[in-house]
């Protein structure tokens, strides 16, 4: 798995007028465009909010929390752990696909284990207070099977209204062991 703690390259198409505005703003600020873009992305993400998923183990609407706060609480350099945490929060945070992938893990006895998925939320539990649902998983098994879980959800999406259990999907693919 790639080292997710270093800078990554993204590519985006933007309106030529916005590109010119970035050039001018970067020149005015005496900054590189890349640095300015990083700042703008962070500012933009900082304006997003969502229902707080960490109060009393369930989302309480009307109790908004900053998206970046939740992101910082659940982010981990381990991509599978991060995606599983994000998905466990629910579609309000990460969208339907990751949420459904996490439900495969959290809703199954097969993936139960000793690892506390949220643990101390990177120190945020002391800051926020309250409680959240505990999920104990076999993280090594989840990491091993994550590509299968991703393909399972994609299979279900592409073959609606067909409903197949994760175990049956693995059997169909010859992946049961």
Q: Rounded mean pLDDT of the chain?
A: 87
Question: What CA–CA distance (Å, rounded) separates 121 from 75?
Answer: 9
Helix axes 139-158, 96-106, angle to 10 degrees: 130
Query: What number is the average pLDDT over the span 50-59?
Result: 64
Q: What are the pLDDT digits (tens) for 76-114?
A: 999 999 999 999 989 999 999 999 999 999 999 999 999
Q: What are the pLDDT digits (tens) for 6-40?
A: 788 888 899 999 999 999 999 999 999 999 999 99
pLDDT surpassing 80 at residue 2: no
CA 106 to chain centre: 15
Residue in the block written with tokens 């339907």: 96
Enter the DSSP assignment of 117.
S
Domain residue extents for the chain = 15-47, 51-172
pLDDT of amino acid 118: 86
Task: Assign 61 a pLDDT band (cuts: 50, 70, 90).
Answer: very low
3-state secondary structure of 114: strand
Question: What CA–CA distance (Å, rounded) separates 104 from 150?
Answer: 10
Q: Name the pTM for this structure.
A: 0.81
132 close to 118: Cβ distance less than 8 angstroms: yes
48 close to 70: Cβ distance less than 8 angstroms: no
pLDDT of amino acid 122: 74
pLDDT of amino acid 55: 60
Q: What are the pLDDT digits (tens) for 111-162?
A: 999 999 988 787 776 666 656 678 999 999 999 999 999 999 999 999 999 9
């Amino acid at each position: 798995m790639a080292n997710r703690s270093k800078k990554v390259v993204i590519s985006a198409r933007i309106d030529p007028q916005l590109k010119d505005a970035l050039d001018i703003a970067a020149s005015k600020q005496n900054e590189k465009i890349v640095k300015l873009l990083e700042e703008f992305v962070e500012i933009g993400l900082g304006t997003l909010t969502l229902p707080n998923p960490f109060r009393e183990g369930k989302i309480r609407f009307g109790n908004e929390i900053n998206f970046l706060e939740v992101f910082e609480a659940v982010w981990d350099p381990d991509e599978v752990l991060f995606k599983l945490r994000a998905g466990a929060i629910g579609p309000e945070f990460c969208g339907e696909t990751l949420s459904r992938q996490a439900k495969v893990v959290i809703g199954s006895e097969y993936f139960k284990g000793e690892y506390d998925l949220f643990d101390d939320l990177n120190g945020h539990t002391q800051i926020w207070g309250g409680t959240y649902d505990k999920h104990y998983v076999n993280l090594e098994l989840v990491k091993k099977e994550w590509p299968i879980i991703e393909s399972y959800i994609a299979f279900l999406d592409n073959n609606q209204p067909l409903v197949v259990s994760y175990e049956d999907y693995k059997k169909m693919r010859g992946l049961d062991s």
